[in-house]
Amino acid sequence: MKPKKPYKKWLSIILAFGMEMLRIGTVLAYSEVAHFGINLSNEKEPVELYANSLEIRDKEGIALFNGDVSVVQGERLLRTAKLIVYYDKAYKGTNKNQGDMKASPAWFGSTGIKKMEALGKVYIKNATQIATGDKGVFDGKSKIIRLTGNNVVLTDGDNVATGCKLTADMKSGKAFLEGCETSEKKGRVSIIFKQNQKNDH
């Protein structure tokens, strides 16, 4: 088995993905929504992206990270089977003095990202907060993230919320969790909220 390779050269993609995709909120109780509050623009902690392989299709404006993909910064973690980045081929960096600009594809820089897709058992974690699903999509224009699957689960300690579709608007800071249309309880969301209890024994 080949070891995973770190792709630090594509730091802009890592930062952009982390700043948006990893900020998915988690539902704590009923209408109460708490955000992960992750800001990967803080460079005090290194950001690393690992994958088994990387394929760049510059003519199509696509970058494919395949096989056990993980994005890590401190306690923050994203894991998925495949990460697809759609970038604007017409985007040009503003730093003309950047030495690697000629060797870098056009999407070098977060403003060049149009859409990103995380496919295959998406797992997002920050400290005690975890969000899981089958597919995560980030729209670069609308700044909206959608986490979908047969069982989307949001947990924060003992608090658990389940549904089939989580929509998070990074502009407004609002997140909505929707139930499964095909389930017996059509359109319903399941939430378990545990309060701290003192043990008298």
Q: Which two tokens stand for residue 44?
A: 């005090």
Residue 68 lies in a domain: yes
How far CA 68 is from CA of 42, 118, 119, 189, in Å, comes to: 25, 11, 11, 30
Residue 51 lies in a domain: yes
Residue 177 lies in a domain: yes
Number of domains in the chain: 1
Residue 199 lies in a domain: no
Instruction: Tell me the three-class secondary structure of 43-105, residue by residue.
Output: CCCCCEEEECEEEEECCCCEEEEEEEEEEEECCEEEEEEEEEEEECCCCCCCCCCCCCCCCCC
Q: Which helix (H) or strand (E) holds 103?
A: none
Residue 129 lies in a domain: yes
Give me the domain span that covers residue 29. Answer: 5-192
**Mean pLDDT, the chain, integer:** 67
Indicate which CATH number applies to the domain containing 177: 2.60.450.10
Residue 145 lies in a domain: yes
Residue 201 lies in a domain: no
pLDDT at 32: 29
pLDDT at 128 over 80: no
pLDDT at 193: 54
